[in-house]
A = this chain, B = another copy of it.
Amino acid sequence: MKIVLAQLNYHIGNFESNTSKIIDTIHRSAQEGADLVVFAELAIGGYPAQDFLEFDDFLDRCEDALRQIASNCQNIACIVGTPIRNNQPKGKPLFNAAAFCYQNQIQYFRKSLLPNYDVFDEYRYFEPSKSFNLLHFKGHKIALTICEDIWDVGNNRLYTINPMEELIVQHPDLMINIAASPFNYNQAQTRLKVLRANVLKYKIPLIYVNQTGAQTELLFDGGSLIFHANGNVKQSLSFFKEEAVMVETDDLLKNGPDKDIQEIPDKIALIHDALVMGIGDYFRKMGFSKAILGLSGGIDSAVTLALATKALGPENVHSLLLPSQFSSDHSITDAVSLVNNLGSTAETIAIEPLFEAFMSQLKPGLKGKPFDVTEENIQARIRGVLLMAISNKFGYILLNTSNKSESAVGYGTLYGDMNGGLSVLGDVYKTGVYELAHYINREKIIIPVNTILKPPSAELRPNQKDSDSLPDYDVLDEILTQYIEFRKGPEELISAGYDKDVVKKVLRLVNLNEYKRKQTPPILRISPKAFGMGRRMPIVGKYLL
């Protein structure tokens, strides 16, 4: 039996595009002699469709699309993910299902293990399935599961049922798993380990089809996999790209050579490619092609610009240089070198006259109080107004250039440099931004050396340095990682050797600034714990303050 793994990029709610992409793939696969095409989890309506799943109209459209797809499955079968209604009187109103379509019949297989942590809210919509049946097709007995269903290989405390344990006693000869498994920099390794553990445990081949593409903050990396029964990887599909690959099951049932393991790029290369895909897909799916950003001569905006030109083309990314009276000379020269290196465009608008105008209009209101963060914020907000003006007039999307370290401790101005339609680096700590800069420069200097070498500064008052008010980024990023990614509390951090006062200050700043992060743009998620939908914190909380 010939099976095509269709690793595609879907668009939430875009039934026309998703359906025609699926049907095209079915037709092309049929022409190439395939018996079965496998699409990803919830491919039809897109994943995560979130509360669209509460609309009857949305579910009706999913059903229509599925019927249309099924009507194209006469001489070829397909497996495609879709939400279906739960017709039982009790339980959540939907199931997360894999529909098997063949010769005017549709057979459903329902997801049992529903992730409901971090970015996942599946129990908000779906009822977990408690029935387990094999799919019989062309002499094969297939254990067909959905994503998390095979994520319990004996050590997952969350689940009391293990779908594969229920299915294996029915003697399948092949596992197929369809997934919507979002990227983080550990995920490819974890996924390979978990999938392989399933193969080694159940001793039958596994075909794993993930989706690719970005859905706002969630980045799907593809990397679909085909395993021989002995646990060797027969073939792995690309990361961050659409791809369709055909495999003959006879070749899988034989044990494969003892060579293969999936080639996973380095962490920083994965992050780079994930961010580039994330930018590109956000613009395409929002129906925009052009980006704008504020270029300061610093490392964050430089890396953001490099990534954006990679994603959208240098002709589609416009930079504004917005110097103030506190900007150093190199802030302009470094920015200009970068723009030249990338072949993109830029223009300069001085903010000093606007700052003076605000100071003049605000003179009575500010009552002669001394220069403080107020005046720093005014500068950042003037830049925000200018960037949004050009963005509005010419239909650009503003890219936010804040990094995760800044966002964590609230080192940024709401309605100023925290503006943007999309945050590119909001899940990358400052130390990671430097790593990205070196990666971008791996073949030739794109980001000016001075941008990498000079000490970070917001340049909002004379001779300001980030290190005036923050711990060194090396230390800061370690503490932040321990607190945010690993949920370590103050006592644990202090006993691990971090300075008590620094720990208390950093944790306090993180918690104090939830109100700011509530209003930030969506952040491309590259870590196991990003600010955004996967990290939900109270604003009025008084924990560690």
1/0 per residue A510-545: CB within 8 Å of B?
Answer: 000001001111100000000001011111111111
Give the interface segment out of A53-61, A171-179, A332-340, A467-475: A53-61
Determine whether the beta carbon of B519 is less than 8 Å from that of A520.
yes
A123-B123, A216-B540 known; A350+B354 contact, CB < 8 A:
no
A residues 348-370 in Cβ contact with B at 8 Å: 349-351, 353-354, 357-358, 360-362, 364-367, 369
What is the chain B residue whose CB lies nearest that of A49?
A: B538
A415 an interface residue at 8 Å Cβ cutoff?
Answer: yes
Answer whether residue A234 sits at the interface, using C-beta atoms and an 8 A cutoff.
no
Beta-carbon contact of A52 and B541 below 8 Å = yes
- Interface membership of A388, Cβ < 8 A: yes
Report the Cα distance A186→B350, complex, angstroms. Answer: 53
Q: Which residues of chain B are within 8 angstroms of A392 by Cβ–Cβ distance?
A: 372-374, 377
A158 to B123, CA, bound (A): 11
Task: Mark each residue of chain A from 371 to 393: 1 if its CB lies under 8 Å from any CB of chain B, else 0.
Answer: 01110011001101110111011
CB distance from A65 to the nearest CB of B (A): 12
Q: Which of A29-37, A204-212, A440-448, A485-493 makes up part of the contact surface?
A: A485-493
- Pick from A88-96, A131-139, A305-313 the stretch touching chain B: A88-96
What 0/1 pattern do residues 96 to 111 of A give for CB contact below 8 A with B?
0000000000000000
In the assembly, how many copies of this chain are there?
Answer: 2
Residue of B nearest to A90 (CB): B160
The answer to whether A92 and B377 touch across the interface, beta carbons within 8 angstroms, is no
Closest to A51 in B: B536
| A55 and chain B: residue at smallest CB distance | B487
Per the 8 Å Cβ criterion, residues 279-303 of A in contact with B are 281-282, 285-286
- What residues on B are CB-neighbors of A353 within 8 Å? 357, 360-361
Contact partners of A56 in chain B: CB under 8 A? 487, 489, 492
- CB neighbours of A439 from chain B (8 A): none
Please give, as numbers and ranges, the residues of chain B lying within 8 Å of A361 by CB-CB distance. Answer: 349-351, 353-354, 386
Give every chain B residue within 8 A of A519 (Cβ-Cβ).
519-521
CA distance in complex: A522, B158 (Å): 32
Instruction: For residue A68, give the distance in angstroms from its CB to the closest CB of chain B.
Output: 17
Contacts of A24 in B (CB 8 A): none
Q: Does A63 contact B (CB under 8 A)?
A: no
Is B390 touching A365 in the complex (CB atoms < 8 A)?
Answer: yes
Is the CB of A456 closer than 8 A to any CB of chain B? no
Chain B residues contacting A537 (CB-CB under 8 Å) are 50-52
Give 13 pairs: A residue, B residue, CB < 8 Å, sorted on A.
A51-B537, A55-B487, A56-B492, A57-B492, A89-B157, A90-B157, A116-B124, A215-B540, A216-B538, A349-B361, A349-B364, A358-B385, A381-B385
> Knowing that A350-B361, A362-B390, A533-B536 are A-B contacts, what are 15 other residue pairs whose CB atoms are under 8 Å apart, sorted by A's residue number?
A13-B543, A57-B488, A60-B489, A216-B538, A281-B540, A286-B515, A347-B364, A349-B361, A357-B357, A358-B385, A362-B389, A365-B386, A373-B392, A381-B381, A385-B385
